[in-house]
């Protein structure tokens, strides 16, 4: 039987769908032509027609590409993709990056979805875009009143202000080769938070600290606040980013803090099959977010603000598993079990600060993963991280995340704005790192 029926070639400009130009049957692995000599001549004529049609299609494609190159602005163009089940996002605008998401990511909470799309643009397109093109793209996910705060770099406002601040360019110049791996990525409709680590080549000075011209590792956390702008979309209006500078400078042989009493450096993702980064939203939906939020709030309050000089014993212990893991920043280290956490993390902080108070800016959970960003305050009455008592009221920005299991905290991750604490004591953390005599650290 014939494999297809030949058709006359289309007029240039019509749909260029390839069509075969010979009627044939297949037998024993060989192609046999059918019909007598007139039929063969007709088929040859048809072949000539089809060849001319193919050339016409090729010419049309070349012409369309040429016209497109001349008429479309030189920007990063993404296809207007709307996958099945995808929540409505924003009308497609030619020239704007439109991320293609895996099906498992299509129905994530709104703030988390906005961060994911924003990050995909930054990781794949932003390095090659001008500030104006970058601004047009990030305005899809950043609100007009967007505020970006960080540790070490300048604060910026509005999407354009962030794109033109130079912070990202400075970062890319300093670390001219980089690979970032997310360990945690949690969020709901109002907030999102990540913890990642970067393997980067440090090639030029960073905030006055000389480059080691080598590959280094550092940990970074982000907190985001978002507002809903439509039934299926949110925009980010705040982002706080913090790098573990204490551990980074220790790694390159320029420590500012004294050695921690606990092991420093190693930070892992959650010890659970919840995805990497954890948690996958499709997994987290089955968890009890309300209980996790209650436990995390109690842990934050009792651990860092609770009354008394000690760590609250029975009431404090009720919020943590006995075999907990706490990943602290450089200068504090990694604690295993309640006794290490109490002795080396909480007690030194409580002894160093009286009249402690808490101001929480962002707090939220996705499933059994929670995160909080805010500020701890207290009167500095004892040594902490090598800083002798000053008697001053000090403010310490924090970024903390928890994983709750069976109503107790199993794991915690925390970073503190240590350079800002130094600044409040008229000390320059980065200048001290730059002046430190290089040492060799493992």
> For residue range 97-150, what is the model confidence (pLDDT) as tens digits?
988 999 999 999 999 999 999 999 998 888 788 888 999 999 999 999 999 999
CA distance 264 to 343: 16
In this prediction, residue 72 carries a pLDDT of: 33
CA 339-340-342 angle, 5° bins: 65
Q: Parallel, antiparallel, or unpaired for β 233-243 and 320-327?
A: unpaired
In this prediction, residue 29 carries a pLDDT of: 35
CA distance 440 to 381: 33
Q: Measuring CA to CA, how many Å separate 22 from each of 7, 30, 58, 248, 405? A: 10, 14, 20, 69, 68
**Residues of the chain where predicted confidence (pLDDT) is lower than 70:** 1-94, 307-318, 439-442
pLDDT in tens, 318-372: 689 999 999 999 999 999 999 999 999 999 999 999 999 999 999 999 999 999 9
CA-wise closest residue to 403 among 279, 275, 300, 317? 279
Phi, psi (5° rounding) for residue 9?
A: -65, 145
CA distance 289 to 365: 6
In this prediction, residue 51 carries a pLDDT of: 54
- Residue pair 198/117 in contact by the 8 Å Cβ criterion: no
Helix 110-124 and helix 131-138, axial crossing angle in degrees, nearest 10: 160
Is the peptide bond preceding residue 277 cis, with omega within 30 degrees of 0?
yes
- Residue pair 190/216 in contact by the 8 Å Cβ criterion: no
Annotate 229-266 with b (16+ C-beta within 10 A) or e (fewer).
Answer: eeeebbbbebbbbbbbbbbbbbbbebbbbeebebebbe
Does the model's pTM come out above 0.85? no
Q: How many CB atoms lie within 10 A of CB 73?
A: 9
In this prediction, residue 166 carries a pLDDT of: 72
């Amino acid at each position: 039987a014939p494999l297809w029926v030949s058709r006359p070639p289309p007029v240039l400009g019509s749909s260029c769908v390839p069509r075969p130009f010979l009627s044939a049957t297949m037998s024993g692995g060989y192609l046999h032509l059918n019909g007598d000599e007139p039929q063969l001549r007709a088929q040859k004529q048809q072949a000539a027609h089809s060849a001319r049609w193919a050339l016409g299609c090729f010419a049309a494609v070349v012409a369309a590409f040429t016209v497109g190159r001349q008429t479309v602005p030189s920007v990063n163009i993404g296809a207007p993709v709307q996958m099945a089940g995808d929540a409505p996002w924003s009308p497609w605008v030619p020239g704007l990056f439109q991320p293609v998401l895996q099906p498992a990511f299509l129905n994530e909470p709104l703030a988390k979805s906005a961060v994911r799309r924003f990050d995909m643009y930054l990781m794949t397109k932003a390095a090659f875009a001008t500030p104006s093109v970058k601004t047009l793209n990030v305005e899809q996910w950043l609100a007009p009143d967007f505020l970006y705060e960080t540790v070490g770099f300048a604060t910026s406002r509005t999407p354009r202000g962030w794109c033109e601040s130079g912070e990202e360019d400075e970062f890319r110049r300093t670390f001219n080769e980089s690979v970032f791996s997310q360990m945690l990525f949690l969020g709901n409709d109002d907030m999102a938070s990540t913890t990642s680590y970067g393997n980067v080549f440090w090639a030029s000075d960073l905030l006055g600290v000389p480059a080691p011209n080598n590959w280094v590792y550092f940990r970074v956390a982000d907190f985001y606040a978002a507002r809903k702008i439509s039934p299926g979309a949110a925009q980010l209006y705040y982002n706080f980013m913090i790098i573990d500078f204490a551990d980074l400078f220790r790694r390159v042989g320029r420590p500012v803090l004294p050695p921690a009493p606990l092991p420093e450096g190693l930070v892992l993702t959650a010890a659970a099959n919840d995805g990497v980064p954890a948690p996958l939203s499709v997994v987290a939906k089955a968890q009890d977010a309300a209980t996790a939020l209650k436990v995390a709030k109690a842990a934050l309050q009792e651990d860092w603000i609770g009354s008394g000089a000690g760590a609250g014993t029975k009431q404090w212990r009720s919020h943590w598993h006995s075999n907990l893991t706490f990943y602290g920043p450089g200068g504090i280290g990694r604690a295993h079990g309640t006794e290490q956490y109490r002795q080396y993390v909480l007690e030194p902080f409580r002894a160093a600060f009286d009249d402690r108070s808490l101001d929480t800016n962002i707090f939220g959970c996705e499933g059994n993963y929670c995160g909080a960003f805010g500020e701890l305050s207290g009167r500095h009455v004892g040594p902490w991280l090598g800083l002798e008592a000053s008697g001053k009221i000090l403010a310490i920005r924090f970024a903390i995340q928890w994983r709750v299991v069976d109503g107790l905290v199993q794991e915690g991750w925390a970073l503190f704005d240590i350079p800002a604490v130094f600044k409040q004591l008229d000390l320059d953390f980065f200048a001290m790192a730059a002046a430190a005599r290089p040492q060799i650290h493992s």
